[in-house]
Amino acid sequence: MTDWIAAAAALTPQTGLFIDGAFRPAADGASFETIAPRDGSVIAEISSGGEADVDAAVRAAARAFESGVWSRADRRERQRVLVRLADLMLENLDELALLEAHDSGHPISDARNVDVPTAARVFRWYAEALDKVSDEVAPTPENALALVTREPLGVVGAVVPWNYPLIISSWKLAPALATGNSVVLKPAELTSLSALKLAELAAEAGLPDGVLNVVPGLGRVAGQALGRHPLVDKVTFTGSPAVGRGFLTYAGESNGKQVALELGGKSPQLVLADAPDLAAAASAIAWGIFYNAGQTCHGGSRLIVDERVHDALLEEVVKVGRSLVQGDPLDAATQLGTIASATQLDRVLGYVDVARVEGATVIGGRRVRPAGLEDGFYVEPTIFDGVDNAGRIGQEEIFGPALAVTTVRGAEEGVRVANDSAYGLAASVWTGSVTTAHNVAKRLRAGTVWINTFDVADVITPFGGFKQSGSGRDRSLHAFDAYTALKTTWIDLGDGSL
Ligand code: NAP
Ligand code: MG
């Protein structure tokens, strides 16, 4: 068994900007601290990319793209490098997992069992898919042949949040790189360490210089510079709705680059009176909101439950919540880690006050200060019962381990309340009737609908939102379309004579 605390103390993470195949400080020497949410201590000083650094990274990416070293490389070569990267991620499983857990507050067991293996699988999956998908031949008249091929866009800017740094980065980088693009990644300020390690491993795997650049920095500086850069062909963004809309403005005011947005959610879990197994539902509902301390964009943050099963279900959900082992993310037994930052901790606790003002019954809702980790960012599993879906607790994304419970009667009212949201990322319905399940699933306005389960997913299916949850889709083979442009090549075949 590893002593993760000792291993964390011994870490010597990369802290520079990774541009054109090498680590370097910011042009103006700026840096920022990255904090360990387990105890609020400083892990490292990270170089803070400015406009000049983003420009250097984008130009390196554009040069690499133009050179063809990656963009026109044989797809089997791209495949080989990205499969090697997936292998290297697993060979470096402990270090990558530790960087992720220490920097973000994810429990180390989740980082080892979920974050790193999932991200590695995403790279492997897109690499392996490269020689299994064909382009098209159009149904032309007999005197012509028209090929419809997918070509890389050029330079892709990826801007990601702090809640799943490695997984969300892999959703964007893997299909973008597999299809031959060059990428500039701006990780979240709170969690840059795993992205810098990923850059190092990508270079070791044989990715040519300039093809992947990682520029940590402040969102309004480095993120904005990427969004406004005229040589960036596409920005793929995951984060908050406000910043996402900012990228649309940046694009409109610069070169009209493509923008794909994956924004937040307020995902409803609708439990109907005929739900077959309330204990199973309760377990999935509790994990669906408390996993990663509720910092999951599609987290099932609203429980919409038929009044006939409310009491029995809630009792079970509370039981599961109380059974979770909360504590030090660097303890392998921990199931519930921390909130990512002091700011986010205050935000979550602020919503506990809002819930009380709005008349909800609050179960939990307190900050936890584990012995020796008193300055860490821990909140106990929290349930707000009796929530009016139209209020702030029903409508606003809390992004913490807090479940809002609203009672309804019947599927019709349940669907109406579930859809009464600006968001539409995910939803679930729990029912014993296959007909009701399908009819409710069709009516739920969400990019993913789960039936009698929650939060099962894989790279094989698309992920993204309806309504204000965004316009882009990560994952699945459809992501190849997101990072390529269609080209028509029309060939004249004359009158058919030989
Ligand atoms: P955020 O503030 O929108 O930040 C996301 C990224 O954008 C970060 O890299 C951030 O940099 C950068 N950024 C911030 N302000 C910027 C600006 N003015 N211009 C350009 N870039 C800027 O979101 P967050 O607080 O990290 O993440 C939580 C939110 O993201 C939640 O609302 C959550 O629901 C959503 N989310 C959605 C999904 C999804 O798949 N739909 C997944 C995860 C999270 P800094 O780190 O320096 O601020
Ligand atoms: Mg951190």
Whether the model pTM is above 0.75? yes
For the cut 70, the answer to whether the pLDDT of residue 361 exceeds it is yes
Query: Counting ligands in written order, which one lies closest to the CA of residue 292?
Result: 1
Tell me whether residue 397 is one of the annotated catalytic residues: no
Q: Are 286 and 292 in contact (CB under 8 A)?
A: no
Q: Counting atoms of ligand 1 from 1, which one is nearest the CA of 425?
A: 41
What are the angstrom distances between the C-alpha of 9 and each of 41, 166, 360?
Answer: 11, 21, 43
Ligand 1 probe mutation, 51, 106, 235, 240, most atoms within 8 A of CB: 240
Of the residues 262, 358, 380, 397, only one is catalytic, namely 262
Confidence of residue 1 (pLDDT cuts 50, 70, 90): low
Mean pLDDT of 205-224: 98
What are the angstrom distances between the C-alpha of 478 and each of 137, 175, 257, 298, 469?
Answer: 19, 9, 20, 20, 18
Helix axis angle, 165-178 to 93-104, nearest 10°: 130
Q: How close is the Cα of 441 to the center of ligand 1, in Å?
A: 29
Q: Are 303 and 285 in contact (CB under 8 A)?
A: yes
How far apart CA 449 and CA 425 sit, in angstroms, is: 9
In the DSSP assignment, the letter for residue 296 is -
Tell me whether residue 297 is one of the annotated catalytic residues: yes
**Residue 2 has what pLDDT?**
78
Query: Counting ligands in written order, which one lies closest to the CA of residue 396?
Result: 1
How far apart CA 441 and CA 205 sit, in angstroms, is: 43
Ligand 1 probe mutation, 163, 343, 348, 469, most atoms within 8 A of CB: 163
How far apart CA 313 and CA 335 sit, in angstroms, is: 22
Of the residues 33, 95, 151, 297, only one is catalytic, namely 297
Name the E strands within 196-249: 212-214, 234-238
Per-chain residues with Cβ under 5 A from ion ligand 2: 34-35, 103, 190
Half-sphere exposure of 202 (CA within 13 A, CB side): 32
How far apart CA 82 and CA 119 sit, in angstroms, is: 12
Q: Counting atoms of ligand 1 from 1, which one is nearest the CA of 470?
A: 41
Task: Name the token pair of 36.
Answer: 């360990």
Report the mean per-residue pLDDT for the chain: 98
- Spacing of C-alpha 113 from chain mean position: 17
**29-57: b or e for each residue (b if 16 or more CB lie within 10 Å)?**
ebbbebbbbbbbeebbebbbbbbebbbbb
Mean pLDDT of 400-428: 98
Query: Counting ligands in written order, which one lies closest to the CA of residue 265?
Result: 1
Taking only the tens place, the pLDDT of each residue in 30-69 is 999 999 999 999 999 999 999 999 999 999 999 999 999 9
Q: How close is the Cα of 153 to the center of ligand 2, in Å?
A: 32
Name the E strands within 338-476: 361-363, 367-368, 378-379, 382-385, 402-408, 426-430, 448-451, 463-464, 473-474
**Residue 280 has what pLDDT?**
97
Q: How close is the Cα of 162 to the center of ligand 2, in Å?
A: 8
Q: How close is the Cα of 250 to the center of ligand 2, in Å?
A: 27
Q: Counting atoms of ligand 1 from 1, which one is nearest the CA of 265?
A: 34
Phi and psi (nearest 5°) for 15? -130, 0
Q: Are 333 and 490 in contact (CB under 8 A)?
A: no
Task: Name the token pair of 357.
Answer: 């003002």
Ligand 1 probe mutation, 297, 341, 351, most atoms within 8 A of CB: 297
How far apart CA 259 and CA 251 sit, in angstroms, is: 7
Tokens 């669907």 belong to 415
Q: Counting atoms of ligand 1 from 1, which one is nearest the CA of 164?
A: 43
Q: How close is the Cα of 160 to the center of ligand 2, in Å?
A: 14
Mean pLDDT of 129-154: 97
The residue count of the chain comes to 498
Domains of the chain: 4-263 (3.40.605.10), 268-458 (3.40.309.10)
Taking only the tens place, the pLDDT of each residue in 274-313 is 999 999 999 999 999 999 999 999 999 999 999 999 999 9
How far apart CA 445 and CA 439 sit, in angstroms, is: 12
Dihedral sign for Cα 459, 333, 161, 71, please: negative
Taking only the tens place, the pLDDT of each residue in 228-243 is 999 999 999 999 999 9
Strand partners, 104: none
Residue closest to 427 by CA, chosen among 407, 454, 400, 449: 449
Taking only the tens place, the pLDDT of each residue in 365-405 is 999 999 999 999 999 999 999 999 999 999 999 999 999 99
